[in-house]
Structure 1
Amino acid sequence: MSQVNWPAIGFTILPNLGGIGGGIITRKNINPWYESLKKPQCRPPNAAFGPVWTTLYSSMGYASYLVFRDGGGFNGPARLPLIVYGSNLLFNWAWTPIFFGAKDLKLALYELQLVNLTAIGTGYLFYKINHTAGYLIIPYCLWLSLATALNYVIWRDNKDSKPKITELKDQ
């Protein structure tokens, strides 16, 4: 019988913890606020976002495990890639409270650029330690491209409609 690789499981689950928090914030603001926004017809259905993010977060987490394992942990060459990855997670997790919580579409778009930059940096640095880990970040970067385009179009098409103060107080 094989041994359970607890570090791999822990690294894989970690990014999903922020995703769970983001999911709670999102669910509270889907209806009526988000549903009332003008959105592009080509956007994925709301039901797709949970499974996609769970898959991406799990892939990112496993990639970070591979880098931690193959790069000597926080005391080896993996240190910088893991710091950039950790920064990316924090920026990623911050987007949802900005977009759905504060309902600040423009600030969310700007903040998303930090997510994009650190995701690309993470992929590059992970690849230098473990090629598979670098490849596992590619779907995340592609999804971020879609998320950035959606955030931009939603901001562009709704920048004249601000949430009412009463909507913000009800949070």
Structure 2
Amino acid sequence: MEKFNGLKLLVSVIVILALGSAGGLVTAPQIKTWYVLLQKPVFNPPNYLFAPVWTFLYLSMGVSFYLLWNSKKSNYKQYAISAFVIQFILNIAWSFIFFYLHQVGWALAEILMMWLFILLTIVYAFKVKKWAAWLLIPYLAWVSFATILNAAIYILN
């Protein structure tokens, strides 16, 4: 069993929350201007739901990353961490593509790549630290929903 490292946990959670919030800085001004004008499907959640959901998901991602980072050396540890970093970069990029650039189609293509890297992260994480993988399941579920929502908005607009 790995020794608990509070500093690594704190760094992991704070960095994930801070970088994840960068997407929110781009998103927030667009909600009441550009986004409100888009045709959205009936299953589009209310806007107030997104911030608490993403906060929970970023916290879970931060703990998951900590568990991977703090885990003992294994053949899959670097694969899991690399896949995590790639999916997280894609996560941040999606907000810029969708909300800042207003490129709904490109955002759809990008979120599909993000979904694949989240799945890959989970597969590798299961081989390193099962809890790190389990913590990412709600994230995969939410991004699955977000992918369907992105596709619906693309079709409707």
Distance 1:91 1:4 in 2: 28
Shift of 1:70: 1.5
The equivalent residue for 1:121 is 120
Instruction: Report if aligned partners of 1:71, 1:77 keep a CA contact under 8 Å in 2.
Output: no
Distance 1:19 1:11 in 2: 12
Alignment size in residue pairs: 154
**TM-score with structure 1 setting the length:** 0.85
The equivalent residue for 2:132 is 133
The equivalent residue for 1:24 is 25
More RCO (CA 8 Å, sep 6+): 2
Distance 1:71 1:87 in 2: 21
Shift of 1:18: 2.2
The equivalent residue for 1:163 is none
Percent identity of paired positions between Structure 1 and Structure 2: 33
Higher-Rg member (1/2): 1
Shift of 1:16: 1.6
Distance 1:122 1:154 in 2: 27
Residues 20/137 of structure 1: CA separation in 2 closer, same or farther (3 Å cut): same
RMSD: 1.6
Distance 1:9 1:55 in 2: 15
Distance 2:90 2:5 in 1: 31
Distance 2:125 2:146 in 1: 22
The equivalent residue for 1:148 is 147
Distance 2:72 2:104 in 1: 38
Instruction: Report if aligned partners of 2:83, 2:117 keep a CA contact under 8 Å in 1.
Output: yes
Is residue 86 from structure 1 mapped to residue 81 from structure 2 by the alignment? no
